[in-house]
Amino acid sequence: MSKMKKLYDYKTYTGLILLLIFFLITTYSILKGYTREVDRLLLENVANFHTDFLTKMMTFFSFIGATRPVIVISILFLGVIYLKYRHLQDVILLALVSLGSVTLNVLLKMTIKRERPESSVIVESGYSYPSAHTMAAVSLYGMIIYLLWRHTPTIKARIILITFGVSMILMIAFSRIYLGVHYASDIIGGVLISSFWLLTLLAIFQRYLKKEKKKSTQKDTC
Measured at the alpha carbon of residue 45, what is the angle toward residues 67 and 173, in degrees to the nearest 5? 20
CB 157 within 8 A of CB 212: no
Among the listed residues 159, 153, 142, the one whose alpha carbon sits nearest the alpha carbon of residue 205 = 142
Domain ranges of the chain: 3-209
4 has pLDDT over 50: no
How many residues in total does the chain contain? 222
Record the pTM.
Answer: 0.88
pLDDT digits (tens, 9 = 90+) for 124-135: 888 999 999 999
pLDDT digits (tens, 9 = 90+) for 12-66: 888 999 999 999 999 999 999 999 999 999 999 999 999 999 999 999 999 999 8
Cβ burial, residue 200 (10 Å; 0-12/13-18/19+): middle
CA distances in angstroms from 62 to 140, 177, 188, listed in the order given: 14, 10, 16
Measured at the alpha carbon of residue 69, what is the angle toward residues 65 and 71, in degrees to the nearest 5? 105
pLDDT digits (tens, 9 = 90+) for 89-125: 888 898 899 999 999 999 999 999 999 998 888 888 8
CB 25 within 8 A of CB 110: no
Provide the 10 A C-beta neighbour count for residue 106: 13
CB 80 within 8 A of CB 89: no
Q: What is the reported pLDDT for 116?
A: 94
Q: What is the reported pLDDT for 5?
A: 55
Cβ partners under 8 Å of residue 38, min gap 6: 184, 185
Q: What is the reported pLDDT for 110?
A: 95
pLDDT digits (tens, 9 = 90+) for 153-210: 889 989 999 999 999 999 999 999 999 999 999 999 999 999 999 999 999 988 887 7
Measured at the alpha carbon of residue 185, what is the angle toward residues 27 and 147, in degrees to the nearest 5? 90
Cβ partners under 8 Å of residue 188, min gap 6: 26
Rounded CA separation 124/101 (Å): 20
pLDDT band at 82 (very low <50, low <70, confident <90, very high): confident
Left, alpha or beta for 180 (phi > 0: left; psi -120 to 50: alpha)? left
Q: What is the reported pLDDT for 18?
A: 96
Helix/strand/coil percentages in the chain, nearest 5: 80, 0, 20
